[in-house]
Structure 1
């Protein structure tokens, strides 16, 4: 059997305020082409199908189109929810969807009941919120390692009653040794969020979700990563999905399939005039761009000016040469022996990098005079 391991679609996510639905649909509908070309039997989504527990109507419609295209291409689908999803909403029509080849593994009570497709048993572990999950599973310990350990104990117990099957577990978790990026929501509870890879011993392949960079922790223990970059920390990621060949004899091979990039991410730093005029930056004009402006004085209307040349400049910060913006000063030291007007003028200088103009200083004086009069 050939399985396509995916995770962390985050349908409906925005990128610094920009709607990504069109980019997401472009990449995700393309999975149907991979299914056809590579003769994929099953597509799995290891959590975070949506970006929020209550997705927008547009997100649901788009997700339905993508899943329909994958199903039409000939693959069955197995989905388990992540920490962004609502297990109840995703799984509400699970019994009906299974008849059409869409298997939704969302129930805690059924985590040790696999979907058996051909000669492979798929166990879907929904995201296990440690505190409620430990009560539901009767676990004394706290944290993800404790509840996942109990979940896998039950999976291995079910496996002992089955023979002649390959095994795949879908799990949404932060496994020790994985490298996070800036776009994952923390699943730290009580200071404990990591789980050891040994928790998953005893199965042929573990399709991990949660971390957005594709990573190999062991031959049979891997993150596929998210299909798109969701933070500038992922600018160097090669977004991919994983073709997993396994059968009743176990895991045979894992192959990476690189995904297209709808719009590249980039970062740049420099003085505003240079950024807006230097021809060397022409290649950045169609990128999602993070800009650090190093002028001594904070430029006014910075974002609008940048977007005149870089329409996809979604993040800008002032980082002057000499690091004034990062200077730290205790509040008590900053205000000691200074009048209200001097404190306000100092704030203007710290924020903008230049002194208040004569008219601005006059306006501040008048404002404080009015307050004192009242």
Structure 2
């Protein structure tokens, strides 16, 4: 059986104020062509299908068109929700989808697989939607579920119980931050709180293959546990990371091969560093005129209208930064800078505590109390 593992489409995401919808449509069209060329049996999309819990109508249109195109190749399609998705919105039309397209968003059905058979027998696909501990712990009151690590471990226990009652080969699909990954700083919005929510690799023992989502770069954590990454570059921090998907082949005895299939890059990303005059040189323009450009200029003083000057030479200049050459690096940041860098509510609270306590953040006991209060708030909002 041939399985294509993809994830993190982030339909509707912008890139420094520019829509990515057209570029993503081009890439997903290429992905559909790969599914047809390689005669893929099952396409797995491991979460973060949308970039927002409230996607625009155009995002739904692209998703629908892509799912239909994948289905028309003859492949089965299995989709799970990620932390960016609204499980309710992603799954509301699941019963209306045509035969062979499965959207798995119900945590109470983790142990119930989608079964697809080949000449060697059944392959059971267990989909784990993104699980926010504060929202899902009422489903399993007997378990202690305060962190993503604990919640994912419990979910995999359910998967392995399902495997025990469904003999044959198996694939698990999940969206999380697993131990050992190389994340893009500031990009993957947190699925963890500090180190507590990093999921140990051993949690995924059991299935023949584990298809993970959330990390935007290709990652191989073991022979059977991998991230496919995003199909499009969404940050200059990931400009050197390849875009593509994993072509997984299961033989009679389980995983037999894994091949990386490259996807096209509609517009290259490049970071140019030097004085503004050096960045604007004819050689740079000739080499990078059509690329997305991040310009880091090192002049001692800020230059007049640098973005206007850059876009006159690089029409797709998306970002300009001033980093004077020889400036001493410092770890000290203002309160406002810490707030801008914060991603989670815990980080915002930590920034406040560091500010008012002269550098002293939350203690372990205070961190646990903060987590409990925020969990209660998330749970209350989910019930509204």
Q: TM-score, normalised by structure 1?
A: 0.84
Match runs of 1:108-187 below 5 Å:
108-118=107-117, 119-138=122-141, 139-163=143-167, 165-182=168-185, 183-187=187-191
Secondary structure of the structure 1 residue equivalent to 2:233 = coil
Secondary structure of the structure 2 residue equivalent to 1:208 = strand
Out of 265, 275, 294, the residue aligned to residue 271 of structure 1 is 275
Residue 248 of structure 1 deviates from its aligned partner by 5.1
Residue 137 of structure 1 deviates from its aligned partner by 2.2
Residue 328 of structure 1 deviates from its aligned partner by 7.1
Q: Distance in 1 between matches of 2:8 and 2:152?
A: 19
Secondary structure of the structure 2 residue equivalent to 1:78 = strand
Say whether 1:211 aligns with 2:215.
Answer: yes
- Residue matched to 2:361: none
Query: Which runs of no fewer than 5 residues in structure 1 stay unpaired?
Result: 332-374
Q: Distance in 1 between matches of 2:274 and 2:91?
A: 50
- Residue matched to 2:95: 95
Write the deviation string for residues 37-92 of structure 1: whole angstroms up to 9, x where unpaired: 10001111000001011111111111211111111122110000000001111111
- Residue matched to 1:364: none
Say whether 1:317 aligns with 2:321.
Answer: yes
Residue 247 of structure 1 deviates from its aligned partner by 4.7
Secondary structure of the structure 2 residue equivalent to 1:175 = coil
Residue 304 of structure 1 deviates from its aligned partner by 1.3
Secondary structure of the structure 1 residue equivalent to 2:180 = coil
After TM superposition, the runs of 4+ consecutive aligned structure 1 residues lying more than 4 A away are 324-331
Query: Which runs of no fewer than 5 residues in structure 2 stay unpaired?
Result: 336-384
Contact 2:285 2:313 in 1 (8 A): no
Q: Distance in 2 between matches of 1:95 and 1:115?
A: 14
Q: Distance in 1 between matches of 2:213 and 2:67?
A: 18
Q: Distance in 1 between matches of 2:70 and 2:252?
A: 25
**Which stretch of structure 1 is more off in the superposition, 5-14 or 273-282?**
273-282
Contact 1:184 1:211 in 2 (8 A): yes
RMSD over aligned Cα, in angstroms? 2.0
Say whether 1:228 aligns with 2:227.
Answer: no
**Which stretch of structure 1 is more off in the superposition, 182-191 or 228-237?**
182-191
Contact 2:285 2:314 in 1 (8 A): no
Out of 199, 205, 212, the residue aligned to residue 203 of structure 2 is 199
Out of 241, 258, 261, the residue aligned to residue 254 of structure 1 is 258
Contact 1:120 1:247 in 2 (8 A): no
User: Structure 1 residues 121 and 329, CA, compared in 2 at 3 Å: closer, same or farther?
Assistant: closer
Q: Distance in 2 between matches of 1:228 and 1:222?
A: 18
Q: Distance in 2 between matches of 1:217 and 1:92?
A: 33
- Residue matched to 1:5: 5
Match runs of 1:38-57 below 5 Å:
38-57=38-57
Q: Distance in 2 between matches of 1:328 and 1:142?
A: 32
User: Structure 1 residues 174 and 328, CA, compared in 2 at 3 Å: closer, same or farther?
Assistant: closer
Contact 2:133 2:145 in 1 (8 A): no
Match runs of 1:334-353 below 5 Å:
none
Contact 2:124 2:166 in 1 (8 A): no
Q: Distance in 2 between matches of 1:38 and 1:22?
A: 25
**Which stretch of structure 1 is more off in the superposition, 62-71 or 256-265?**
62-71
User: Structure 1 residues 19 and 156, CA, compared in 2 at 3 Å: closer, same or farther?
Assistant: same
Residue 324 of structure 1 deviates from its aligned partner by 7.7
Contact 1:29 1:70 in 2 (8 A): no
- Residue matched to 2:379: none
Q: Distance in 2 between matches of 1:326 and 1:285?
A: 34
- Residue matched to 1:242: 246
- Residue matched to 2:81: 81
**Which stretch of structure 1 is more off in the superposition, 216-225 or 187-196?**
187-196
**Which stretch of structure 1 is more off in the superposition, 284-293 or 239-248?**
239-248
**Which stretch of structure 1 is more off in the superposition, 103-112 or 322-331?**
322-331
Q: TM-score, normalised by structure 2?
A: 0.82
Contact 1:35 1:74 in 2 (8 A): no
Write the deviation string for residues 305-352 of structure 1: whole angstroms up to 9, x where unpaired: 110001111010111223289797999xxxxxxxxxxxxxxxxxxxxx
Q: Distance in 2 between matches of 1:135 and 1:285?
A: 54
- Residue matched to 2:349: none
Secondary structure of the structure 1 residue equivalent to 2:264 = coil
**Which stretch of structure 1 is more off in the superposition, 70-79 or 315-324?**
315-324
- Residue matched to 1:299: 303
For the pair shown, the structure with the greater C-alpha radius of gyration is 1
